[in-house]
Amino acid sequence: MKNTFGSALAVTLFGESHGEEIGVVLDGLAPGIPVDGAAIEKKLLLRRPAGKTGSGRREPDPFRIVSGVFGGKTTGTPLCILIPNRDAKSEEYERTRGLARPGHADYAAYLKYHGFEDYRGAGHASGRLTAPLAAAGAIVEGALKAKGIRIGTHIARLDGICDRSFPEDAEELEGAILSLAEKNFAVLDENAGEAMRRRIEEAAEAGDSVGGVLETAAAGIPGGVGEPWFDGVENALSRALFGIPAVKGIEFGAGFGMADARGSAWNDPFRMRDGKIRTVSNHNGGINGGVTNGMPLLFRLLVKPAPSIPREQKTVDFLKGEDAVLAVGGRHDPAILHRARPAVDAVTAMVIYDLLAVRFGIDYFADV
């Protein structure tokens, strides 16, 4: 499927950056899930560009839910959220039509859609489409919270500056996840966050952009969720999370850090803890054989630097078939990490919801 993921809960994304509206359809939500407008607004606020660390586009995002909700709760039929596009300045894209932004999707979209694509503001490939994802995430994260499942993402690394890792202790992890929900710039160590913000501003002043790593934890997921081989938890998360623009890598648990390790040191030994089976470490990120083992899910995403930078770069004019140089104008994010974070939480929530609904049925989340 092209713009859809999920099976019991299917999520479809639509729209273009400078088109009339963008939106999302959630098909498969259980009936009776509370829909809290304030929680949706809060998620959109976390994604909104702010200050020197984001693009200058104003994105007030007055969302509308046009179906699937009655009396403040989901009906169980498709739920559609629409968000109008505002403050789109298309002139720059008209001026540079045919000039492929290095690292961006302009040329690939031209190859795929033969020139019929809406190229303004990257069209359908734009990070702008993470707004409806974030909005829908508020509803799904609420449903998971009611089942004791919490998700949090922080900027683990930005241009070489590192945040603290998630704590291993279950209670401390819960506290860390809760603290992130309130933060616009999601870090566990505020000093690291301050240095990261400064680095973004320095890069922007130098006409450049920076990338890094987002780390996500999801606590409270029961064991035994996920299918072996091709519909495992890693498979489902990877497929959906790679849909977020600028995500170029994923690793679960200790990930590539295990490359030079010995099994004796990196296996996760099992122990009884308060009558429950737990592992002492979590190098496998809560997943064994594609299936959850009751430990928190843990993964990291590589988010690349934003491709649109005002420095001159070599490119081609693919309409004229000639070499060119391009210094990208307009308003762009000098870093994507903090702006992608609400979408990462949202997509993670949707995937977990889907896996749980496959395992236990849609009514697992129903208010009955």
Q: Closest distance between ligand FMN and the C-beta of residue 127, in Å?
A: 2
- Residue 63's identity, in one-letter code, is F
- Residue 364's identity, in one-letter code, is Y
33-72 positions binding ligand FMN, by CB under 6 A: 55
- Answer for which of 123, 127, 152, 285 binds ligand FMN (CB under 6 A) is 127
Site for ligand FMN contains 348 (CB under 6 A): no
Site for ligand FMN contains 143 (CB under 6 A): no
Q: 21-43: b or e for each residue (b if 16 or more CB lie within 10 Å)?
A: ebbbbbbbbbbbbebeeebbeeb
Site for ligand FMN contains 308 (CB under 6 A): yes
The pattern of x and - marking residues 245 through 264 that bind ligand FMN according to CB under 6 A reads xx------------------
Structure tokens at 150: 């919490």
Bridge partners, residue 272, by sequence? 277
- Answer for which of 188, 236, 306, 349 binds ligand FMN (CB under 6 A) is 306
Site for ligand FMN contains 333 (CB under 6 A): yes
From 1-9, 218-226, 240-248, 252-260, span contacting ligand FMN (CB under 6 A): 240-248
User: In terms of CB distance, is 268 or 333 closer to ligand FMN?
Assistant: 333
Site for ligand FMN contains 342 (CB under 6 A): no
Cα separation, 4 vs 2, in Å, equals 6
Q: Does residue 144 sit in helix, strand or coil?
A: helix
Site for ligand FMN contains 153 (CB under 6 A): no
Cα separation, 17 vs 124, in Å, equals 6
Q: Closest distance between ligand FMN and the C-beta of residue 83, in Å?
A: 14
With CB under 6 A as the rule, give the number of residues binding ligand FMN: 20
Q: Closest distance between ligand FMN and the C-beta of residue 112, in Å?
A: 13
Q: Closest distance between ligand FMN and the C-beta of residue 47, in Å?
A: 7
Cα separation, 59 vs 47, in Å, equals 9
97-126 positions binding ligand FMN, by CB under 6 A: 104-105, 122, 125-126
Q: Assign residue 357 a region: left if phi > 0, alpha if psi is -120 to 50, beta otherwise?
A: alpha
From 192-200, 256-264, 282-290, 300-308, span contacting ligand FMN (CB under 6 A): 300-308
Residue 245: DSSP 8-state: T
Q: Closest distance between ligand FMN and the C-beta of residue 79, in Å?
A: 22
Q: Does residue 190 sit in helix, strand or coil?
A: helix
Cα separation, 293 vs 295, in Å, equals 6
**Could you give the C-alpha distances from 183 to 45, 69, 294, in angstroms and in order?**
10, 29, 27
**Could you give the C-alpha distances from 80 to 52, 67, 77, 120, 130, in angstroms and in order?**
33, 5, 10, 24, 15
Site for ligand FMN contains 307 (CB under 6 A): yes
160-199 positions binding ligand FMN, by CB under 6 A: none
- Taking CB atoms, the residue at the shortest distance from ligand FMN is 127
Q: What end-to-end distance do the CA atoms of the chain give, in Å?
A: 32
Q: Closest distance between ligand FMN and the C-beta of residue 76, in Å?
A: 30
Cα separation, 65 vs 35, in Å, equals 10
Interface ranges with ligand FMN (CB under 6 A): 55, 104-105, 122, 125-127, 130, 244-246, 304, 306-308, 332-333, 336, 339-340
